[in-house]
Amino acid sequence: MSPIIAEHDSLTAMQLPSNEILTTTAISTKMNADYSNLKLEEKIAVCEPFSEVNLLGQQLTDRDMETVIGQVIIKKQCTALWLEYNEITSQGTSLLAGALYNNTTLEKLSLHNNRVSDMGVHSLAQALSFDNSTLKELDLSWNGITDEGAQHLAEMLMTNKTLSRLNLSENQITDQGVQMLAIALAHHNTTLKRLDLETNKLMSDSCIDSLVEILEHNRSLVTLDVRYCNLSEARLREVSKPKKGFDLLLC
């Protein structure tokens, strides 16, 4: 039996420990002592409140996350935040995750092509398991995520009721990670509509049973992207064929 099933009861009551909040605050304070990014502040200044904020390719690091959180998420109350192609690690991701706990406006968050790693995924999964009621789309593609990160996300999907799209493309998830995600999606989650696993080249035909389990039991998913994952197509096409309105993306 997968460890995520055994841990499910404790996960439903999961809370962020107070010492973790203090640690996150201390990290933020230490990183930003005597630090400013005028280019970032100028770019944020022209953004409209309640809008989509694009900070793609701005060479942002963990030290910039306090400004992004304070000015974009809290003050501007943005509805979408694009942070693709930056240099944000698990530390900066932890700060972002902390801002999601009481979020009421941010619906889309993209961290494509950063350095989030499994540790950063853990912080996000905790926030999205606890009390976030707004975020609908999360892009974690190209972030060096392994099966450990997939397990954190699978545990989150067991309790999260708002996320409709999860992009895990171009990571390092194997058949084991797919199995854990499949258990969550086939038997617990009822709200995710799209899962992207494109170009996880460590996946193989050994995970086809897990993908079939999703196709046979999940009732909310309408798109599953498994292109460029070294999978045989025949069985997946056969199982998905009766699902009207379902889009299975294969090579």
Query: What's the sign of the alpha-carbon dihedral 122, 106, 109, 37?
Result: negative
The pTM of the full predicted model, rounded to 2 decimals, is 0.88
List the domains of the chain with CATH numbers. Answer: 3-249 (3.80.10.10)
The SS3 assignment for 201 reads: coil
pLDDT digit string (tens) for 7-45? 444 333 334 444 454 455 555 555 566 789 999 999 999
Asked if residue 72 has pLDDT above 90, the reply is yes
- Percentage of the chain modeled with pLDDT above 90: 83
Which tokens go with 188?
A: 């617990």
pLDDT at 9: 43
Asked if residue 220 has pLDDT above 90, the reply is yes
Do 120 and 143 meet the contact criterion of CB atoms below 8 Å apart?
yes
Spatial CA neighbour of 84 closest among 20, 168, 15, 141: 141
pLDDT at 131: 63
- 194 alpha carbon, distance to own chain's centre: 12
pLDDT digit string (tens) for 147-187? 999 999 999 999 999 999 999 999 999 999 999 999 999 99
Average pLDDT over all residues of the chain: 90
Q: How many CB atoms lie within 10 A of CB 103?
A: 18
Sheet with 223-225, strands from edge to edge, namely: 52-54, 80-82, 108-110, 137-139, 165-167, 194-196, 223-225, 247-249
Do 89 and 63 meet the contact criterion of CB atoms below 8 Å apart?
no
